[in-house]
């Protein structure tokens, strides 16, 4: 499978759901924009019979208006435990 070292940025944001009217409504709402390179890699995994799993990283931030939100970044999940014979890339 192809390795995409120079991926476009895959990012998004989560905001407090100000329209929450019941316990069943989500606490946060937001979006995640997948880069074409990441989407292509996920599709290749699915076609190969693998589960297209992603890792998410989240940071708490504050907008210029003072509203709190969470910034989200995503990448293809790598199980480093299964790759014990290879070096960890950090």
Q: What is the pTM of this model?
A: 0.69
Domain positions in the chain are 11-76
Q: Which residue has the tokens 């480093």?
A: 80
pLDDT range class, residue 90, cuts 50, 70, 90 = low
> Three-state DSSP class for 38?
helix
Name residue, tokens 């390179």.
37
Residues 6-60 have pLDDT tens digits of: 446 789 999 999 999 999 999 999 999 999 989 999 999 999 999 999 999 999 9
Tell me the C-alpha distance between 11 and 30, whole Å.
Answer: 11
Is the pLDDT score of 2 beyond 60? no
Q: What is the pLDDT of residue 58?
A: 93
Q: Residue 6's pLDDT is what?
A: 46
Residue 61, φ and ψ in degrees, nearest 5 = -140, 170
């Amino acid at each position: 499978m192809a390795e995409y070292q120079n991926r476009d940025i895959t990012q998004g944001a989560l905001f407090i759901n100000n329209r929450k009217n019941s316990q069943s409504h989500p606490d946060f709402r937001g979006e995640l924009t997948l880069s074409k390179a990441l989407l292509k890699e996920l599709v290749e995994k699915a076609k190969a019979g693998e589960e297209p799993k992603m890792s998410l990283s989240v940071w708490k931030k504050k907008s210029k208006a003072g509203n709190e939100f969470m910034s989200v970044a995503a990448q293809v999940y790598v199980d480093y435990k299964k790759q014990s014979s290879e070096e960890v890339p950090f």
